[in-house]
């Protein structure tokens, strides 16, 4: 693994351990992989790779991008595991790359079937995580670091009170809640939705009360940190626009229903 920025301390030693472990582990493997020759590409998952396989780099380098931001390079001797996040991660190759492909399910079953390979596999995953953490630390701008907190609400608890000043944005991590305006329920919100962003962005009082239906877990992001997140995280902007569009559509439907009773 090659970092594209100056990584946190200890990275080089972790890389050496990682390559040694990978070499030792693959030497004990009882299954044979298939050779994959990857041509230069901006998206390897559209040109030969897939999420069902793991890959051992035999020659060349395969880059990793997240939301179009280049993070690091997998190079010769690295074992690339599939990404569980779907479309957020992109692999690119500026030159040809030679890989050995393994079905991930078969690979893991084989490695866990023996105590010695299971132990090596666990160490390899631990070191890989440590490497990635140090690379991510190098990419974080200290001026835009956030320290969101978690909060928990029981059924009937008020998460947001209509009329209050907007000090936080809430991301509903678990549970569901009712949206109430002037004492009248007007909708509900569910897991994954962002609450209270409109009032914070417009610097106006909360326009609705949010009351927990069941136990809710939320992530609280302070006003100044939320604005930094918006500037640096396009995915959050997309999520906000989607949530706002859903809320507007719901309110429009309610207006139509009230205008056409019965």
Top pLDDT among 219 and 119 is at 119
Q: 114 and 187, same structural domain?
A: no
Report the 10 Å Cβ neighbour count for 69.
Answer: 12
Is position 9 within any domain?
Answer: yes
CA distance 19 to 75: 10
The predicted structure's pLDDT at residue 102: 93
Q: Is residue 237 a contact partner of residue 208, using CB atoms and an 8 Å limit?
A: no
Walk across the sheet containing 184-189 and list its strands: 158-160, 209-212, 177-181, 184-189
Domain end: 139, 171, 203, which one?
139
CA distance 42 to 167: 41
What is the number of structural domains in the chain? 2
Q: 134 and 27, same structural domain?
A: yes
Reported in sequence order, the residue ranges of the chain that DSSP labels E, i.e. its strands, are 2-3, 34-38, 53-59, 62-66, 69-74, 79-80, 89-92, 97-103, 149-153, 158-160, 168-174, 177-181, 184-189, 194-195, 209-212, 216-222
Q: 33 and 122, same structural domain?
A: yes
Say which residues have a Cβ less than 8 Å from residue 254's Cβ, sequence separation at least 6. Answer: 186, 187
Confidence band of 209 (pLDDT split at 50, 70, 90):
very high
Q: 167 and 99, same structural domain?
A: no
Using alpha carbons, select from 181, 207, 185, 180 the residue that is nearest to residue 196. Answer: 207
The predicted structure's pLDDT at residue 188: 86
Range of the domain at 237: 149-259
Domain end: 84, 112, 139, which one?
139
Is position 126 within any domain?
Answer: yes
Q: 6 and 25, same structural domain?
A: yes
Rg, the chain, Cα only: 24
Q: 240 and 154, same structural domain?
A: yes
Mean pLDDT of 108-125: 91
Each residue's pLDDT tens digit, 6-36:
766 678 888 889 999 999 999 998 888 999 9
Say which residues have a Cβ less than 8 Å from residue 216's Cβ, sequence separation at least 6. Answer: 152, 153, 157, 159, 172, 174, 175, 176, 177
The yes-or-no verdict on residue 148 having pLDDT over 60 is no
The predicted structure's pLDDT at residue 83: 74
Is position 236 within any domain?
Answer: yes
The predicted structure's pLDDT at residue 169: 84
Confidence band of 55 (pLDDT split at 50, 70, 90):
very high
Is position 113 within any domain?
Answer: yes
Calculate the average pLDDT of the chain.
80
Q: What is the CATH number of the domain that holds 133?
A: 2.60.120.10
Q: 250 and 224, same structural domain?
A: yes
Q: 203 and 111, same structural domain?
A: no
Q: Is residue 131 a contact partner of residue 11, using CB atoms and an 8 Å limit?
A: yes
Domain end: 139, 170, 205, which one?
139
Q: 172 and 255, same structural domain?
A: yes
Q: 229 and 134, same structural domain?
A: no
Instruction: Quote the percentage of the chain above a pLDDT of 90.
Output: 28
Walk across the sheet containing 194-195 and list its strands: 149-153, 216-222, 168-174, 194-195
Is position 144 within any domain?
Answer: no
Q: Is residue 51 a contact partner of residue 132, using CB atoms and an 8 Å limit?
A: no
Each residue's pLDDT tens digit, 159-177:
999 999 888 888 888 899 9
Is position 17 within any domain?
Answer: yes
The predicted structure's pLDDT at residue 143: 47
Q: 229 and 114, same structural domain?
A: no
């Amino acid at each position: 693994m090659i970092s594209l920025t100056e990584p946190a301390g200890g990275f080089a030693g972790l890389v050496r351990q990682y390559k040694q472990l990978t070499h030792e582990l693959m030497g004990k493997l009882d299954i044979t992989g298939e050779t994959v020759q990857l041509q230069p590409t901006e998206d390897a998952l559209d040109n030969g790779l897939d999420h069902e396989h793991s890959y051992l780099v035999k020659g060349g380098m395969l880059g990793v991008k997240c939301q179009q931001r280049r993070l690091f390079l997998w190079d010769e001797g690295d074992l690339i595991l599939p990404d569980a996040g779907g479309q957020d991660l992109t692999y690119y190759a500026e030159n040809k790359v030679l890989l050995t492909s393994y079905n991930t399910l078969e690979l893991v079953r084989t490695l866990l079937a023996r105590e010695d390979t299971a132990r090596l596999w666990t160490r390899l995953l631990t070191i890989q995580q440590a490497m990635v953490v140090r690379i991510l630390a190098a990419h974080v701008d200290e001026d835009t670091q956030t320290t969101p907190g978690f909060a928990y609400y029981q059924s009937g608890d008020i998460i947001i009170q209509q009329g209050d000043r907007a000090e936080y944005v809430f991301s509903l991590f678990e549970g569901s809640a009712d949206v109430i305006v002037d004492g009248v329920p007007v909708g509900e919100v569910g897991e994954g939705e962002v609450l209270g962003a409109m009032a914070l962005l417009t610097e106006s009082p909360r326009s609705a009360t949010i009351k927990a239906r069941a136990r809710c877990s939320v992530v609280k992001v302070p006003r100044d940190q939320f604005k930094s997140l918006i500037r640096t995280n396009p995915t959050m902007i997309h999520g906000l626009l989607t949530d706002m569009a859903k809320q507007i559509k719901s309110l429009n439907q309610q207006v139509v229903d009230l205008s056409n009773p019965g």
